[in-house]
A and B are shown apart, each in its own frame.
Chain A
């Protein structure tokens, strides 16, 4: 099905209706499963006195088919990469090969209890140890922890490692972390959580880090400089080697936020560039779909001088045997057990499937697709940044504010044209930002079609801005009251309150 640009005002169009909640579909007495020959009382009578509920658990009553239809209809109303082009910048919403879904289904991995003795999970430990070694190779690092549950958790881990490193050297003065204003917003939050003072570096006029300002900000108080590479403007810093040299000379450590790993996997390695710490998001680059709340995984790679401080437990290999150890120098556990193991196995499977040359192509096609789309869209809205972009690029819809339009209005019209919308209002340093990341998995035909529709939308915005204010027309929910949603969220379905 090829989506077409919405034809405003066409009477033939009907907004899809919203699927009722399971509570609204409640049918008293309906059952999903009947237990043959087992009276519920024979089970409930086994529960010790005082351990049971005093009032019945409030749950909707439905048949299996009711539930299947409910979730299937919801999935039809949803927009995901399996149904729509999804250029949500900064998020790398690429297609993940379906074959990867088979890996977490392997019973030997899937059915392991996390409290089993390491002797009973040698296969999993071997696979995860191999995953660590593989990521070391890809990142140019000397040790990797698989423990962090997501990107920002990886940042916090790297920051706690940094703190422990300077503590172990008796250096108590390094209390500051420098972060460019084009970095991911989680960087300053993680730095503050780790007990550091955040110093923000304003970008230069080209959107890159300003070398002079970096040099001025570096001091014996600087513990860490956190760089997002490529930056959230979709730009590879042209002065990166000089920046690395400046930071090294100051005695601070250097952190690479590798959330944008898709732009350089198989092409360059943060360790080779001089970075001490890097985190990546396997749920962006390495074959785990995301957006549904997880699980994700944010492995952190470090150089050897930081390896002793990585979180425990560590996987240790002695000959053919694997064990879990907790070195005294470690910052300690940062989450339960040994990480999102099934997600990490997907990452290992993806890396093994593509191999070095395949991974290099991932990055090269991500860069090619972004630059192809950037060129197709030139002349529509001004772009922040000059020349080639990395895996994404940022346009500003500020000039449309004369028509009373915001980037959000464009995003709503893009939904009507049959796509997921680009990221809007981020990065914050660009007014009315639209951040577009096509990823390597999209075809030229999809990019051509999107560019055509985008052009038509910009023309429409200039000719008839009020029509954009009426978008979207093809989604079950159009323009929710965002202020009310933020201030007075209703988190309980009113229908559930009528059911005992």
Chain B
């Protein structure tokens, strides 16, 4: 996947899977470092409809449990069951094998409300992220 990744202030990433309405979602490298070792992931049900910004999954680390919010609204069409049996993938490969779920998005225009790489890096520097 070489298409552009976009980000939320709550440290999710989202990336198109080739067609504009099919998106893959995970948490950023910054987020996985912050929450430390992931021990459990609660994935959404396939077919679940989630509005933009709604809680879609839960990640539990040795520190605490964290909500994962949908960067765009849509229907859950796939989940990464590998991270259920091996949650450490979220830490070791957050942008690759540690992806969390895929959405068929309702409104491609919501893409424009998300942070690009530069904007997300600026957010990390200023330290004003929403935090998980």
Contact = CB atoms under 8 A, between A and B. Distances in A.
Interface of A: 185, 202, 406, 425-426, 428-429, 431, 482-483, 486-487
Contacts of B39: 482-483, 486-487
Secondary structure of the B side of the interface?
loop
Nearest to A430: B131
Contacts, number: 27
List the 8 shortest-distance A-B pairs measured between CB atoms, nearest first.
Answer: A486-B39, A482-B62, A425-B63, A483-B37, A487-B39, A483-B39, A429-B131, A428-B64
B17 to A, nearest CB: 30
B117 interface: no
Which residue among A202, A431, A486 has the maximum number of chain B CB atoms within 10 Å of its CB? A486
B64 A202 contact: no
B18 interface: no
- Classify the secondary structure of A's interface with B: loop
- Size bracket, chain B contacts: 10 to 19
Given A486-B39, A487-B40, A185 B64 contact: yes
Contacts of A431: 34, 131
27 contacts: A185-B64, A202-B130, A406-B36, A425-B63, A425-B64, A426-B64, A428-B64, A428-B66, A428-B131, A428-B132, A429-B131, A431-B34, A431-B131, A482-B37, A482-B39, A482-B62, A483-B37, A483-B39, A483-B62, A483-B88, A486-B39, A486-B40, A486-B60, A486-B62, A487-B39, A487-B40, A487-B87
Interface string B26-45: 00000000101101100000
A487 B84 CA distance: 11
Given A428-B132, A483-B39, A483-B62, 12 more contacts: A185-B64, A406-B36, A425-B64, A426-B64, A428-B66, A428-B131, A429-B131, A431-B34, A431-B131, A482-B62, A483-B88, A486-B60
A483 B91 CA distance: 12
A486 B40 CA distance: 8
Nearest to A401: B33
A230 B87 CA distance: 36
Nearest to B88: A483
A214 to B, nearest CB: 17
A145 B18 CA distance: 59
